[in-house]
Chain A
Amino acid sequence: MRTPISYFLIVSGMLFAIGTVGVLVRKNALVIFMAVELQLNAVNLSLVAFSRMHNNLNGQVMAFFSMVVAAAEVVVGLAIIVTIYRRRQSASVDDANVLRG
Chain B
Amino acid sequence: MPLDNLVFWVFAPICVGSALAMILQRNAVHAALLLVVNFFTISVFYLVLGASFLFAVQIIVYAGAIMVLFLFVIMLLGVDRDEPLVERIRGQRALGVTLGVGIFLELFFAVRAGIGFATRAPASFDRVANEGGNPVALSRVLFRDYFFPFEVTSVLLIVAAVAVMVLASRQRRAITRAEVERAAAQSPARETAPDPAP
Closest approach, in angstroms, between the C-beta of B26 and any C-beta of chain A? Answer: 9
Kindly state whether residue B96 has any CB partner on chain A within 8 Å. yes
* B141/A28 in contact, CB under 8 A: no
Selected from B93, B95, B108, B153, the residue in CB contact (under 8 A) with A13 is B108
Residues in B with CB closer than 8 Å to A94 are 88-89
* B45/A13 in contact, CB under 8 A: no
Q: Which residues of A line the B interface, CB within 8 A?
A: 1-22, 24-28, 30-31, 33-35, 37-38, 41, 44-45, 48-49, 51-53, 55-58, 60-61, 63-65, 67-76, 78-83, 85, 91-92, 94
Q: Which residues of B line the A interface, CB within 8 A?
A: 2, 4-5, 8, 12, 15-16, 19-20, 22-23, 25, 28, 31-32, 35, 38-39, 42, 45-46, 48-51, 53-54, 57-58, 61-62, 65-66, 69-70, 73-74, 76-77, 79, 83-84, 87-89, 92-93, 95-97, 99-101, 103-104, 107-108, 111-112, 115-125, 128-130, 134, 137-138, 141-142, 145-146, 149, 153, 156-157, 159-161, 163-164, 167-168
